[in-house]
Structure 1
Amino acid sequence: MNRELAKASVLKTGPGTSIQDLGRQGMANFGVPISGAMDQRALLWINHLLQNDENAAVLEISQPGFSIRFDTPTSIALAGALVDVKLNGVQIQNPAIIPIHLHGVLEIGAFKSGARLYLGIKHGFQSSVILGSRSFYQGLTSLSQLSKEDKIPYFVDSNPIHQHNAKAKWSSDWYRTETILAYPGPDFSLLDTESREKLIGEPYRISTFSNRMGLQLSELLENELPELPTNPVFPGMVQLTSGGKLVILLKDAQVTGGYPRVLYLDEKSQGIVAQKKPGEQLRFSLISSKAAKNDRDSIR
């Protein structure tokens, strides 16, 4: 069925705003990263509220000061970071499902907790599909991030959601923990006992050297690990360099790497890490296979 397209106009944005869905699957053998939403839990929540397909594309926003205008009535939803939100200049207290009227303007203010906000729309944003995904990735899609005056297509919603008896409310409690659950990585056994205890027992802070490819931790973990051949890597792998730097690979990470892979974070733990700001602290904790399965199941 053909639907009429409308446009949302970006009025203001900081760096890093992009369109993301669940990413590109099965492309690693061609050197193509998975990409997709850094906080998958937030994306799935939004699409559930809007009764979209779970892979419908959303906006990922990582800076305050974003604003957008919608050409036609529709319904949107927000999740991820807790932020100050205004619609047509009026503060919104519980920005779950938000009805948008003709030429409605949404403004995103201060981030009160979390590092990434997700904005979804009924039927999803309709950017170009490249290799099975709408997710932005530099060198693959025409844009790597959105800029002022960019226009994003979406389907006109002739019956926007105006009222719900139930008031769904997004909770940020799940990502406020400092504890990051992890599996031992393929090269964890190469660490000596002292290094393992430091890796698992000591706190680490998020450094400013972080982006969608990876997140670097400030504290060093001295080690004498050998040089390794290039091996497959994917989001969630924690690599340890010869200089002692710990790097958590994220959604736009390369698909191969030569640094030892000492830990692996599952999807829920990746989402927690994605919501951490520079300077915030975390601690790794090893988990059993049974506990990890329960955590994965809790995402959906």
Structure 2
Amino acid sequence: MPKMLINGILRDKPAQSDGRFHRLPSPFRGWISSDAEANFPAASGRYHLYMSKACPWCHGVDLVLALKGLRDLLSITWMDPVMSEDGWVIDQSSFDETAGVARDRYLYQVYRRAEPAYTGAISVPVLLDKHSGQIISTDSADIMRMLNTAFVDAAIPDLCPTAFAAEIDRLAEIIQAPIRNGVYRVGFATTQEAYDEAIHQLYEGLDIVEAVLNTRRFLAGPMPTEVDLKLFPTLLRFDPVYVTHFKIDRKRIKDYPALSRYLADFAQQPGVAETIDLQHTRAHYFLSHRNINPSGIIPIGPEPGNIVADMTKGAA
């Protein structure tokens, strides 16, 4: 049973009576700014991320760090691939003793330390201010946008250029509910009605994006932008995880010519390959969601050469 904190106490998350998956909104919506007088000014070494290599929301944040060359400015604590009954488990083998954060065992301890009476989800990514101990944000879209704008350098690419901003936001809205969140709405549905509603919306969304990519190399134009960093992690996990694990088996990404070309193209962009760990990702989904996969069997999946090796051939 998924867990959450209620007044700082770890509890089972209440089941939804309508059989639908509902993602809890983030209550932490602070912002790192390039303004030196801001509450959270952009400063190297001040901020810390709690991340999972399996999570598509974290993957988007990691792509920002990779494409903008920001990894040395923030420290990171990574999660173990397999969640426990108490939620996300911190990977002790990769913990950085020099990061300046407590060596916790579970992610919920980070939330409870920052806000002892916290009520809400225990999710990644988490952006923490090491100076104050405050959680700045747990909203991946906010974190991606602030990392793009806070650490300004003319040599670093802008992932949300003004000329494409309106189109980036329009496309982000199109992919968010039906596709990015849609795969979870399908996979965690507990009634046929909820499943049917979500699965049709998912494939309708994929058809829209397929049509967009028939005329463009990337979603908003000729170069990768923020919205590509949001879609790519979901597409990457689709065939090797979601098709089997979440019962999304009408069509695979490889059945969409434009989406397949786009997935391979984006995977070959400099810095992207190093953010991909499909073995870790598959272990997370198939071993963590025992309500969906009670036996914990990891299916054989597509041949690895058809997923990562071919996509990243020639990647920098």
Give the TM-score, by structure 1 length.
Answer: 0.25
More strand by share: 1
More helix by share: 2
Give the TM-score, by structure 2 length.
Answer: 0.24
